[in-house]
Amino acid sequence: MNKIKILFLLAVISLGLSVTAVTPTEVKNAAGAENKQVQPTRTYINAIPIDMVARPNYYLNKYVKVKATFDKFSTLGLDYKPAMRSSEDYISFLIQRDDVRDHNIPLSEMKIFMKRTEAEKYIDLSSGDKIEFSGKVFSTALGDVWMDVDNFSVLSSKSKSQTKQ
């Protein structure tokens, strides 16, 4: 009796292993064309940079949207092996701390990466320009926030007369 149960169980397991699942991208419609799986839209949470650096583990693997004041493009964090982003493909940028009002101090605890090809579109950015960016926090190496940017926009630019002063 036990041998029969074991053989039956093995047959069920082998049958289950031989069946392959069909993914939505492999299903063909009646006309024979392949149906494409639609990427789900991402939900970004609004985040405050100072809170992000205070609680980096909370934001790990989350998609965030940030409004900030641009400071400068940089190479900070590039080519660091535990959170690798190649300096050939990426550039990082710094934003200003929003908890200091009387000085321009960069928030170096946030390593924010952008594809170089995308960053080249914003070469005229100046320190003090208001920006908004969104992306994913992919690492908390060194206890810092490491973020890839998906979307970037300039909300307002300082006038050229203010820059010359």
* Sign, CA torsion 77/83/87/91: negative
DSSP state at residue 96: B
164 has a pLDDT exceeding 50: no
The arithmetic mean of pLDDT across residues 22-42, rounded, is 57
Strands 110-115 and 145-156: parallel
100 has a pLDDT exceeding 80: yes
Give me the pLDDT at residue 30, please.
54
The arithmetic mean of pLDDT across residues 64-73, rounded, is 97
If you average pLDDT over every residue of the chain, what do you get?
A: 84
To the nearest whole percent, how much of the chain has pLDDT over 70?
72
85 has a pLDDT exceeding 70: yes
Domain spanning 45-164: which superfamily?
Nucleic acid-binding proteins (2.40.50.140)
Both tokens assigned to 25: 């991208």
Both tokens assigned to 119: 């960053």
pTM: 0.71
2 has a pLDDT exceeding 50: yes
161 has a pLDDT exceeding 50: no
Give me the pLDDT at residue 37, please.
66
64 has a pLDDT exceeding 80: yes
Give me the pLDDT at residue 42, please.
87
Q: Domain segments of the chain: what residues?
A: 45-164
Contact 41, 127 (CB under 8 A): no
Give me the pLDDT at residue 67, please.
98
Give me the pLDDT at residue 21, please.
43
The arithmetic mean of pLDDT across residues 147-152, rounded, is 98
H or E element that contains 54: helix 49-54
